Amino acid sequence: NSLANLNISQTFTNDEQKPIECEYIFKLSEDAVITSLRIHLADGTTLKARVEPKEKAKILNTLAFFPTIDRIISNNININMK
């Protein structure tokens, strides 16, 4: 039952003219768990991730790419989509 608090400092510069979408991947052991994630941007903005169970996270990720599916799924399963 170990607990670790990890702070990573990295700098990324977007050279594009518009915002880009990115995916940040953490290599973790199979029994590791992330309980929170905050990203502090240079402009002072803090992004706070919402940690969800794996299966629900997969559904929410799919809905982010196909927003019209939101109405169909939310009417057929009991899950808070917002």
Q: What is the pLDDT of residues 6-32, one digit of tens each?
A: 788 888 888 999 988 877 777 888 887
- Mind spelling out the 3-state secondary structure of 42-73? CCCCEEECCCCCHHHHHHHHHHHHCCCHHHHH
DSSP bridge partners of 38? 48
DSSP bridge partners of 14? none
Q: What is the pTM of this model?
A: 0.51
The tens digit of pLDDT for each residue in 39-71 reads 888 889 998 888 888 888 888 777 777 655 555
Residue type, 31: D
Alpha-carbon gap, residue 72 to 76, rounded angstroms: 7
Tell me the two tokens of residue 18.
Answer: 């518009």
Which CA distances in Å does 65 have to 39, 59, 62, 82? 22, 10, 5, 14
